[in-house]
């Protein structure tokens, strides 16, 4: 037996007890509903994402705690509605993990993680009676970049995919050519569709070379912000107004920032 089991059990019981107290005695907590918590949960998830990208383990711990609180909160409301409780939530995910890992809890043999993912998707469809689309599990509200990646991963898991990364890159180049043609022809609406095809193809290529496009783009966003902030700071240091600088002057600061970031 894991010597930490008692510690984990006590910590969960403590959190459940605190949640019961808050739900009974705190005006704000008593007022919350599944719907009112939703946007806060999304915010907490993004805060966890920020901590992960910063590799801040202390902050990751704190944000995981916030998400744990939300899980307990939703479960408490579910229990009040006599729909489900925290035990149902945990047992449900336990059963799912056991069912979808037959190579661990059964006698299925797998060679690599790709086979694990493929089996996962097939078992998922089987659980739903095979009546839902392979892509039905992709949330509609996912940000477009992440959604594109998840769509492609699910299609890959049932064998609908390119064979070689070179084929994918050829598709990227093809989409870029089509986009340029529509721009040159002044067809803005069609150009927008072609631009979407470029992004989708680039996400696909990133997947093939094992790069997470969301992480890559977010790191670039942060790099740009850091370098632009340097331009603002440097201009202020030199007693210059940013909006009055020429592009050439800003480029000088930009090149300085690249050496420092």
User: Is 142 part of a structural domain of the chain?
Assistant: no
User: Is 175 part of a structural domain of the chain?
Assistant: yes
Instruction: Give the total number of structural domains in the chain.
Output: 3
Global confidence as pTM: 0.73
Structure tokens at 197: 């095809």
User: Is 193 part of a structural domain of the chain?
Assistant: yes
Q: DSSP code of 224?
A: H
| CB 110 within 8 Å of CB 103 | yes
pLDDT at 1 over 60: no
d(CA 212, CA 5): 35
- Residues 172, 241, single domain; the answer is no
- State which of 82, 99, 116 marks the end of a domain: 99
Structure tokens at 238: 């030199």
Residue 29 sits in which domain range? 5-99
pLDDT tens-digit readout, 77-134: 999 999 999 999 999 999 999 999 999 999 999 989 888 988 887 887 777 665 578 8
pLDDT tens-digit readout, 210-231: 999 999 999 999 999 999 999 9
CATH (domain of 91): 1.10.287.1080
């Amino acid at each position: 037996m894991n010597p930490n089991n008692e510690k984990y059990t006590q910590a969960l019981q403590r959190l459940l007890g605190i949640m019961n107290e808050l739900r009974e005695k705190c005006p704000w907590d008593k007022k919350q509903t599944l719907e009112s918590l939703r946007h806060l949960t999304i915010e907490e998830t993004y805060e966890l994402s920020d901590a992960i990208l910063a590799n801040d383990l202390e902050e990751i711990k704190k944000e995981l705690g916030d998400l744990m609180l939300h899980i307990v909160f939703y479960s408490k409301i579910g229990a009040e509605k006599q729909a489900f409780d925290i035990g149902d939530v945990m047992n449900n995910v336990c059963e799912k993990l056991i069912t979808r890992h037959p190579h661990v809890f059964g006698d299925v043999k797998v060679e690599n993680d790709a086979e694990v993912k493929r089996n996962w998707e097939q078992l998922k469809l089987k659980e739903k009676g095979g009546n839902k689309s392979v892509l039905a599990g992709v949330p509609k509200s996912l940000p477009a970049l992440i959604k594109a990646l998840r769509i492609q991963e699910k299609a890959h898991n049932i064998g609908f995919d390119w064979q070689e990364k070179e084929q994918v890159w050829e598709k990227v180049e093809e989409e870029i050519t089509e986009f340029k043609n529509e721009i040159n022809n002044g067809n803005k609406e069609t150009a927008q569709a072609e631009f979407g095809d470029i992004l989708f193809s680039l996400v696909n290529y990133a997947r093939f070379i094992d790069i997470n496009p969301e992480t890559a783009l977010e790191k670039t966003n942060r790099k740009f912000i850091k370098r632009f902030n340097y331009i603002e700071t440097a201009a202020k240091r030199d007693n210059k107004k940013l909006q009055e600088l020429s592009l050439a002057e800003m480029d000088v600061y930009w090149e300085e920032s690249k050496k420092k970031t």
